[in-house]
Amino acid sequence: MDKLNLRRELLSARASLTPEQRRANAAKVRETLLDQPWAQMAGLVACYWSIGTEPETHGLVFALWKHGATVLLPVLCEDDDLDWAVYDGPDTLAPGRFGLMEPVDTRRGPDAIRTAALVIVPALAVDRLSGVRLGRGGGSYDRALARVGPNVPTVALLHEGELIDGVPADPHDQRVRWAISPGGLTSLM
């Protein structure tokens, strides 16, 4: 299946999830991630503020922050690359491009992600064999992931059924090392 049709199929499946299912999924994903030693020890975490039917990250971001991690959230640039700024609590976010919530802190630049000890990214699906993630098609996270060191845990958050075989890949598509769904953690290394 091509990327466009696969995206449509996955977005349709996400739209069919009830708010209760999404909340339960978010709790399981958050607990699984926070149970990992490499997540507990990460002093600087790059994450994202979820929107729509994405696996919800608001509670995860807050938990990481309350446990002492410095959390970087993306700021979408005009060229669709990602700049990064520090999350300093729920009152430090404001609407950015396309209504995305972004931190109001000083921008740290696109290369700030290089210093993260843990990188958490959105995905519509991840290939269980190659670790290639399918995003929304703008390439923002592929550019960001290309800046991350090879030993840094990169984690895609998914709903059940989104870890699949055969995600179509282009040369610029980046892999993730881990996927977490309500069913648990999967190593893709």
Question: Which of the residue ranges 31-35, 81-85, 166-170, 179-183 would you say has the lowest mean pLDDT?
Answer: 166-170
CA distance 21 to 50: 16
Share of the chain above pLDDT 90, in %: 94
CA distance 83 to 75: 5
Q: How high is the pLDDT of residue 97?
A: 87
Q: In the chain, where are the structural domains located? A: 3-187
The topology (CATH level 3) of 3-187 is Rossmann fold (3.40.50)
10-49 tens-digit pLDDT: 999 999 999 999 999 999 999 999 999 999 999 999 999 9
Tokens for 71, please give them: 């959390």
Specify the 3-state DSSP secondary structure of 92.
helix
CA distance 155 to 118: 8
Q: How high is the pLDDT of residue 69?
A: 97
CA distance 81 to 143: 7
